[in-house]
Amino acid sequence: MAKTDKIKYLIIGNSAGGIGAAEAIRELDKAGTMAIVSDEPYPAYSRPLISEHLFEGRPLERMLYRAPDFYEQNNIQAVFGEKVAQVDFSGHSLKLESGRSLAWQKLLLATGGVPIVPRMEGGDAKDVFTFTRLDDAKAIDKFLNKHKGKTQALVIGGGLIGVSATEALVRRGVKVCIVEMKDWILNTILDEEGAALEAKALVEADVDIITGHTVAKINKSPSGAVDGAVLDDGRSIAADLVVVAIGVTPRLELADGQLKTNRGIIVDRRMATSQPDVYACGDVAEAYDFVFGENRVTPVWPNAYVGGRIVGQNMAGGKAEYQGGTAMNSLKYFGVNIVSAGMVAPPDKSYEVIIQRGDGIYKKVILKDGLITGLVFAGDIEKSGIIYNLMKDKVRVDGFKEELVSDDFGLASLPEEIWRARLAVPPSEEAFIVPPVEPPEEVVMDE
């Protein structure tokens, strides 16, 4: 195939990473051919909003990440509802499951993550769901509409996705039991004390939480439906549906054996993989983490978008370097405001921890050699953005570290040379971008 027949920019994955890349490409190259392939049949939507789809029926039109005519306006061929089966990296082509082949000059893998579903007896029962895609939310919605009345759900895993699913189910009138293998819920993004505030709100909403245990078996009725479950200690749990939310792992199926991978696809600071002309970003990639000073998987929306923008610039001939991201979460489940970023627990005694506690309030900052390496704010998150930026910009805070968690902390608490510089320089684009909970007005589609 002649080089000119090849799609100039081919993107696999139509979500935060893929859209970031497409936008950055079009800022530099208005005409080069571009296609986005996705096995989901929808235009890009905000994944965190699938919970709102489930609990209040929020329609796709009000979940869209970009205007409905985004693809047309940007001259992007949208190949949706089609799965890429195989990529020939050296031959610069790929095969779709439908049998069609596409040839490309530059390729981006923004394939995200895939939910981990452990093998367990009864795991193939009819009403066992995952909760990472709009179609998952639709499937659970269909189940609830069919089984009106008293429904009980078992949510396996008390991480961000499990708690997000729980909130939606509770608001639909479902009695939920969360079973979490570790000692506390949200353990990858919160320490024990921060998580206790969230757990209290869950219990007040009549959610049962069982920690330190896992599910050994899902019982199936003769018709194949879920009929309760049994825990590893033999306890029985009543349930009519199960949501498996024990985690998400980078979706490496296209890369395996052909690209350098660790937990995710390894990329350099240009977000380039080990194969020429092939890039990766978002939840599938292991990119630079500025807190840990190494490449890590940091599966949050803003990192995927910013990483995608770096890819796009490089695909279009620019020279952009990713400054690094870190795990950063801003949540409000069951009315509790929580922000965490970087390390949530000190890895050893060489770290210092500053804590302030109040009624329903918990603020913790972790420091090493005068620099912030992590934060957990629950209840009162107002100043967490300033702390995050001090961490990101590697500002020494030794002189005022106790102030960081005080009630009246603000820019004015910082030494003059720091707050003056901060007022002069507007926060960088990637600093503390809260995920798109509400799409912009212009995204709303005509009926």
Ligand X SMILES: Cc1cc2nc3c(=O)[nH]c(=O)nc-3n(C[C@H](O)[C@H](O)[C@H](O)COP(=O)(O)OP(=O)(O)OC[C@H]3O[C@@H](n4cnc5c(N)ncnc54)[C@H](O)[C@@H]3O)c2cc1C
**Binding stretches for ligand X (CB under 6 A):** 12-18, 37-40, 47-48, 50-51, 83-84, 110-113, 131-132, 160-161, 164, 251, 254, 282-283, 299-302, 304, 329, 331, 435
> Which position has the token pair 């893998």?
109
Largest Cα separation within the chain, whole Å, is 71
Alpha-carbon span 114 to 131, nearest angstrom: 10
Output the smallest distance, CB 37 to ligand X, in A: 5
Alpha-carbon span 11 to 17, nearest angstrom: 9
Nearer to ligand X by Cβ, of 94 and 218: the residue is: 94
CA dihedral over 137, 171, 165, 13, signed as positive or negative: positive
Output the smallest distance, CB 113 to ligand X, in A: 5
Q: Which residues in 275-311 are b (16+ Cβ under 10 Å) and which e?
A: beebbbbbbbbbbbbbbbeebbbbbbbbbbbbbbbbb
Nearer to ligand X by Cβ, of 333 and 409: the residue is: 333
Alpha-carbon span 63 to 68, nearest angstrom: 11
Alpha-carbon span 173 to 1, nearest angstrom: 57
> SS3 sequence, 195-230?
HHHHHHHHHHCCCEEEECCCEEEEEECCCCCEEEEE
Separation of first and last alpha carbons in the chain: 43
Output the smallest distance, CB 115 to ligand X, in A: 8
Output the smallest distance, CB 396 to ligand X, in A: 28
Output the smallest distance, CB 423 to ligand X, in A: 27
Output the smallest distance, CB 199 to ligand X, in A: 18
Nearer to ligand X by Cβ, of 111 and 295: the residue is: 111
Nearer to ligand X by Cβ, of 244 and 331: the residue is: 331
CB 296 within 8 A of CB 315: no
